Structures are given as structure tokens and as C-alpha cells.
Amino acid sequence: MSEVIFLSVGIIAGFLAILVSLYTYKKVQSFDEGSDRMKEVSALIEDGAYSFINIQYKILGVFTAVLAVIIALIFGELGVPIAISYVLGSIASMIAGYVGIVIATKANRRTAAAAASGGLNPAFNVAFKAGSVMGLMIAGIALAGLGLLYILWELLIPGVVAVELWEIVTGFSFGASTVALFAKAGGGIYTKTADLAADIVGKIERHIPEDDPRNPAAIADAVGDNVGDVAGTGADIFDSNVAAILAAAILGAAIDAAFSPAVPFGLLPLLIAGLGTLASVVGVFLVNPRPDEDPGPVLNRGTYITTVLFAVLTVLVLWILNIDLTLAAAAILGLFTGVVIGFTSDVFTNDRGLGPFKPVPEMVESAQKSAANLILSGYSYGLLSAVPSVIMIAVALVGSYTLGIGAASLGLGTEEGGIFAVSIAAVGLLSTNGMIMSSDAYGPIVDNARGVIEQADAGEQAIIDCDKLDASGNTAKAITKGFAIAASAISVLSLFSAFLASAIPLLPPGTTLSVDLAVPSVLAGAFIGSLVPPTFSAILILGVGRNSERMIAEIRRQFANDPGILEGTSKPDYAKCISIATSGAVRELLPGTVIAIVVTILTGAILGLSALAGYLGGAVLVGLIMALLMSNSGGAWDNAKKIIESPESPIPHDAPEYDEVHDNSVLGDMVGDPFKDTAGPSINTLLVVISLTATLFLPVIFALNAAFAGLF
């Protein structure tokens, strides 16, 4: 009975979110598209985005097909179901990304039109509604997808048990994560490639303004914002959410098998995630600014309402179902962790800091000394930004574990209960992702709307309004970035436990898998794992450099071949630039992705399962520091530049030293761009991918290791 309730709440909440998303989508489409010039400008961006999607999804299709065949072949009996789940997970993630790009490109001109005709409030409404299409869609697909897949395989495979079912569903999560890695890291390479190439040839070599339509890379650059910020972040949050629910389900199913409790803990994560999604739907509806209200507080109000509603709902439902409220407490602790880490990212990247601690204003002071001072202070504050976040994760870990150990229905005092509670904290953190992602997607939409207004000459006041909207969007973006890192870190921790739980049936009865760093092979595994995030980051950053070379060559070629482009008499070939940047991005990324998967499998095959767990540990420890360092220092450099460029700049724009200080800040931003938009946020997804690789390929790795050990 409660199995049906748990599944239903999850699936119904999922479909509700999808329906609301589709309804809002139609509503957004009904808004005024603005002047012909606005339509013209944004149609180019829309076409460009589709062209990006086409190229990337073709390559991803081949990648997915190859991997699906491999999976079907090596997994024996469960091969085909896992492969199908994997393909479905990839498709779900692609749909989520697609929806994000479509709505973002459609909303740009409509937000611009609303700003031009109605001012602040109507523009906010359009942009936020469009953002919520993406937010609710990814929350909905995750729930509906996981729930339906579970039912599907339960019906199709006779006699299958819950533990096996979740093993099959791991394929879904793996598919979602590999696609997310391409979306996030590939999109990150793409967007920075376009940005860099457009600036170097346009601004520096040819002295034409930013976003000038004569620049063959202008559209690619505009597409990049949608691709990296909307679709990439959406895919990232989506895959973390799926992974968190899955890991908790695996651990819950293990408890079900061991203790046969009154309720199915394997399905509880779906229920909790469902409640979070319901809260998000309500929260999204309540984001309605009063006339002339500032947009920032409105967004925050939505988040607060969602958070409180989720907490109340969870306590209530668990109390009704007679489940230990300690689990509700764990979920709320997880949510709180996300808030703290998001808040930390904000403090380290906004223009105010917190009380007397003002990282970005101090960086602005460094910029007045030299570019090197600015780089060094940004790097240092980026490192320091890891401190509160990582401590909070440690607290959440120990706190939720302690809560779970005290839960009677989980087998009071057992380790399993504690670890399950950790995984519930991860689910709790991500439960309100529908609302979080809605506020996040809003930012790039406003940003692009501003570009449309500028290019369409739609008036000074509309630009000022968009800047106001953009400012609150930036805070939301900083918070989401921290949130995304926290989410994947804690999801990875529960995946880590899920990996260990999945390994136990493979071991001789009575033994458990310990990840003892005092054992040299485990420590060696941890060392190898510690290399994964640095290597991947280096590949991405160097990839941006190489890819922008290709694009620069193309822009120069177009300018040289057709002098009419610069004179404004003939159109540049935008599509060619987009195609070069897209395929180049995938080309740079593919080796890194394959290496990450192969090294994960090889480490386990050669050094054993404990060492593989150590490998995951090493990767998480280093990855978390690097992700926070790069995301936050990049965000801080960006904002330092914005402060210097703003009318409130501490260095007057007509001061003799302004140009040099501004140059320094531009340099900081250029270094920070691939940090915060390419390498930093991709590490989260990378960590999820290698954790899922270890979990999914566990039987294969186990067999390989046995064969390897047999060689000696």
C-alpha cells in the first residue's frame, strides 16, 4: 500500500510539474514578440541555438548508441534493460536541455518587448515565467522518469527484486549524467570559445563594439549564454537530482532487504522529492511582484516560501505515515546546507561581502595596484571560499548520519540507517530544484533580452530596467552555482555509499568493503582519483584556448574574403562560426570524458574495489576544493570588473589611471571566464559521472579485478 502511495506522489508531482511547465510555455509564447527588429535579432539567436543543438545531439547520439551497445553486451542478463534505461536517461537529459534552450531563446525577445513597452514588472514576469518552464520541467522529468522506469521494469521483468530494479535504473542516471557532462562542459567550452574569439577579432583587432551584428561570431556568442547558462546548468541540476534520488533509493532498498521495515524506504526518496516539487510549483506561482517592487526580494520570497512549504509538508507527511521524523530533519538539514553554501558563494562574489569581510571590494583595490595583485587576490579568496562550504558539508554529513543512527524504524543504531539519512539529506538539498532552477534560468534570459534591446535600439529606459533585473539575476546565479556544487558533492557522497552497498553482494558473505586510507592500495587509489579533477580542468581550459584559435581563424577568413561584412553591406556566415565552435567543443571534451570513464574502470580492475572507493574519495576531496575555487574566483573577478565599470566605481571613469585599472579588471575577468563557466562547474558533473561509472560497472569491474588478480 505505502509503496503505491510513495510512487504515486513522486510520479504525480512529476507530471504536475511537467504540465505546469507546458502550460507556462504556452503562456510565454502568447506574450508580445516586440518590434520586427527585435524579432529579427532574436531569430538569428534562435536559429543559432538550434544549429548548436543539432550538431551536439548528433555527436551525442552516436556516443550514446555506442555506449548502449557496449552496456547491453557486457552486462549479461540485465544488459538490455540497463542499456534501455541508459538511452532513456540520455534522452531525458537531452529533452531537458532542449526545452531550456527553446524557452530561453523564445523568451529573450518577449522579455525585451515587455521591458520596452511595460517596464520593470512585466519584463520580470516574462523572464521568470520562462525560467520556471525550465525549472519545473527538469524537476518533473526526473521524478516522472525515475518513477515510471521503476514501474516499467517491475512489470516487464518477472520476479525482479527492488535492489535489481534500482541497479537497472542506475543506467538512467548514468545516461543523464554523461549527457549533462557534455551539456555543461561542452557548453562551457563552446560559450567561452565564442566569447573569446568574438572579443579578440571584433573588439581588439577590428575595433567594433561588443554584440555588433557585423561580427560573424556575434550570434555564436549570444547562443553561448543560452547554451552554457540555461541548458548546461539545467542538465547539471537534473543529473544531480536524479543521482541523489537514485543513491538514496539504492540505500533505502538495502534497508528494506535487511530489516523489512513497515514502509518501503527504497521509495521514500521519490516521495520526498515529490513533496519538494509540489512546494516548488506553489512557490513559482507565488512569485508575482507588486507594482514597482524590486525584483530581488521577490525572487527571494519565492525561494523562502518554497523552502518553508517543503519543510512543513515533509514533517506532516512523514508524521502521518508514521515514519521517523529524524528523516525529515535530515532532509531539512540538507536543504539548509544548500542555502548556506549558496549564501557563501554570494558573499564571496557579490559587491558587498558580509559585514567587514569584503572580498570583491578588496579585489577592486588590488586591481588598482596591478593585474597580478588582482589575479592573486582572486585566487586566494577563491581558495578561502571553500572553507565555509566544505565545513558545512562536513557538518551535514555527520549531522544527518547521527540523525539516521537514532531512527528506530531504520534499525535503531545501525550504520545503514545513518548512511541512508545522509542520502536523504542529499535528496532534501535538491528537492526544491524546480524553484532554484527557475530563478537561475531567469538570469541569462534577462541578460540576452538586454542584448536584444540594445541591438534593436529599443530605448534607454528598457536597458536600465534590464540592468536592474540582471542584478538580481546575478545573485540568483551565484547562489545556484554554490547550490549546484553542494548538490553534486552531497549526491556524490551518497553515491559513494550506494557504490559500497552495491558491492557487498559481490563479496564473500559477512565481509564489508572498507575504504581504509591506511591500506596502501586504497591510498594509491585516492591519489589517482585526486588527479581526475585537475586533469579534466586542464583539458577544458586548454580546450577553450585551442577551440578559440579555430574560431578566430574563421572570423578572420570571413572578414578577409568579404569586405562587405565590415561595411555592413553583406551578412556574415553566423552558422559556420557556430558549427566550428560546437564541433570543436565536443572534440576537445570527448577524450577527457572517455579517459574519466576508462580510468575509473581501470583503477578498480587493477587495484580492486576498495581502491576504487578510495579513488572516488580522492576525486571528491580535490574536486570540491577546485570547483569552489574556480567558480567563486571567476564570479568574483567578473563582479570586480562590473564594479569598476559601474557609475559607482571607486575609480572615477575620467581619472587618468582608470584605463589601466579597467584593463586589469578585464584581464581578471578573462582568466575567470573559463574558471567559472567551463572548468569549475563541470567538476560537479564529472564527479557524478565517475561515481555512477563505478556503481553501474561494478559487476564488470569486479570480474576484471578477479581476472587481473589471477594473473599473479
Interface ranges with its own copies (CB under 8 A) = 200, 366, 369-373, 375-377, 379-381, 383-384, 386-387, 390-391, 393-395, 397-398, 401, 418-419, 422, 493, 496-497, 500, 513-518, 520-521, 523-528, 530-531, 534-535, 537-538, 541-542, 544-545, 607, 613-614, 617-618, 621-622, 624-625, 629, 667, 670-671, 674
Listed in sequence order, the residues at least 6 apart from 408 whose beta carbon sits closer than 8 Å to its beta carbon are 324
Listed in sequence order, the residues at least 6 apart from 165 whose beta carbon sits closer than 8 Å to its beta carbon are 150, 153, 154, 157, 253
What minimum distance in Å lies between the beta carbon of 626 and its own copies? 8
What minimum distance in Å lies between the beta carbon of 356 and its own copies? 15
What minimum distance in Å lies between the beta carbon of 250 and its own copies? 14
What minimum distance in Å lies between the beta carbon of 71 and its own copies? 27
Return the number of the residue (238 or 343) whose C-beta is nearest its own copies.
Answer: 343
Return the number of the residue (320 or 518) whose C-beta is nearest its own copies.
Answer: 518
Instruction: Please list, residue by residue across 53-82, b when 16 or more beta carbons sit within 10 angstroms of its beta carbon and e when fewer do.
Output: bebbbebbeebbeebbeebbeebeebbebb
What minimum distance in Å lies between the beta carbon of 366 and its own copies? 7
Q: Contact 175/86 with Cβ under 8 angstroms? A: yes
181 burial type by CB count under 10 A (0-12 exposed, 13-18 middle, 19+ buried): buried
Question: Which grid cell sits at 346?
Answer: 554570494
Return the number of the residue (241 or 366) whose C-beta is nearest its own copies.
Answer: 366
Hunting for cell 513597452 — which residue is that?
117
SS3 category, 354: strand
Q: Contact 679/545 with Cβ under 8 angstroms? A: no
Return the number of the residue (8 or 521) whose C-beta is nearest its own copies.
Answer: 521
Return the number of the residue (361 or 534) whose C-beta is nearest its own copies.
Answer: 534
Q: Contact 392/345 with Cβ under 8 angstroms? A: no
Return the number of the residue (113 or 630) whose C-beta is nearest its own copies.
Answer: 630
What minimum distance in Å lies between the beta carbon of 259 and its own copies? 19
Question: Which grid cell sits at 483?
Answer: 547550490
357: which strand partners?
354
Question: Which grid cell sits at 544?
Answer: 577553450
Q: Contact 223/52 with Cβ under 8 angstroms? A: yes
Longest dimension (CA), the chain: 79
What minimum distance in Å lies between the beta carbon of 524 and its own copies? 4
What minimum distance in Å lies between the beta carbon of 675 and its own copies? 8
What minimum distance in Å lies between the beta carbon of 468 and its own copies? 30
What minimum distance in Å lies between the beta carbon of 329 and its own copies? 16
Q: Contact 688/387 with Cβ under 8 angstroms? A: no
Return the number of the residue (421 or 435) whose C-beta is nearest its own copies.
Answer: 421
- What is the distance in angstroms between the CA of the first residue and the CA of the last residue of the chain? 53
Return the number of the residue (470 or 638) whose C-beta is nearest its own copies.
Answer: 638
Conformational region of residue 513, where left means phi above 0, alpha means psi within -120 to 50, and beta covers everything else: beta
At residue 310's C-alpha, the angle toward residues 485 and 471, to 5°, is: 50
Q: Quote the DSSP letter at residue 654.
A: T
Q: Contact 629/385 with Cβ under 8 angstroms? A: yes
Closest by Cα among 706, 493, 701 to 598: 701
Return the number of the residue (71 or 422) whose C-beta is nearest its own copies.
Answer: 422
Return the number of the residue (92 or 403) whose C-beta is nearest its own copies.
Answer: 403
Conformational region of residue 370, where left means phi above 0, alpha means psi within -120 to 50, and beta covers everything else: beta
Q: Quote the DSSP letter at residue 215.
A: S
Return the number of the residue (65 or 372) whose C-beta is nearest its own copies.
Answer: 372
SS3 category, 228: helix
What minimum distance in Å lies between the beta carbon of 386 and its own copies? 6
Hunting for cell 512543513 — which residue is that?
312
What minimum distance in Å lies between the beta carbon of 618 and its own copies? 5
Return the number of the residue (215 or 603) whose C-beta is nearest its own copies.
Answer: 603
Distance from C-alpha of 709 to C-alpha of 712, rounded to nearest angstrom = 6
Q: Contact 232/94 with Cβ under 8 angstroms? A: no
Distance from C-alpha of 673 to C-alpha of 679, rounded to nearest angstrom = 9
Closest by Cα among 520, 705, 548 to 195: 548
Q: Contact 514/610 with Cβ under 8 angstroms? A: yes
Return the number of the residue (67 or 425) whose C-beta is nearest its own copies.
Answer: 425
What minimum distance in Å lies between the beta carbon of 655 and its own copies? 17
What minimum distance in Å lies between the beta carbon of 486 and its own copies? 12
Return the number of the residue (404 or 443) whose C-beta is nearest its own copies.
Answer: 404
